[in-house]
Amino acid sequence: MGSSSGPWKQLLLGSIEANSHLKHHSYFQLATVSSKNTPSNRTVVFRGFQDDGDKILINTDTRSRKINDLKHCPFAEICWYFTESWEQFRISGVVDVIDGTTPDPLKLEQREKSWFASSLRSRVQYVGASPGLPVIESKQSSLSPSLDPSIGPVAAFCLLLFDPHQVDYLNLKSNERLLFTSEASINGLKLWTSQKVNP
């Protein structure tokens, strides 16, 4: 499968740049479908794009609920709103879960790259207690977990590769809405088309 960049990517990069002075510019909501077929939503951090393509990188904990959601149903949607430029991106796609058991060496290499690209403070979270479980108070739990900055990804660290299939872009300032959709071509590259739609 080849890699190519969608025409919406420049729009998104422009929005990120225009809003980069705002602390929340790199946060978006990721919605998944739970094993009970109910919606599940949370805020995650944008970690960039994979290489020169349009797959979005998201770091997460293998012990988080979103992993079970994605194993049940790999389809997800991102909703990203930029408060200063009044732009919304709703991005639908499929998520590839890459943990330490992934057999593909290239995916494991990307996981390690994402691990070392994260701050030490961010990495330490993955050696703490399991997210979502009740807090057990003890002398041990009051100690902050520590981590050797030179070691590779711990077992709880997981990389999500979000592969966009459709992007719904809305600009509330210009009252413009564009729908970008993709399909695979013969050579495996993704072909994107765009259409203006009513806001």
Residues 41-67: tens digit of each pLDDT: 999 999 999 998 999 999 999 999 999
Structural domains in the chain, CATH included, are: 8-129+149-197 (2.30.110.10)
Query: What pTM does this model have?
Result: 0.91
| Whether pLDDT at 79 is above 80 | yes
pLDDT band at 132 (very low <50, low <70, confident <90, very high): confident
Which pLDDT does position 16 carry in this prediction? 97
Could you count the other beta carbons within 10 Å of the beta carbon of residue 161? 20
CA distance 77 to 178: 17
Inter-residue contact 40 to 32 (CB < 8 Å): yes
Higher pLDDT, 133 or 31: 31
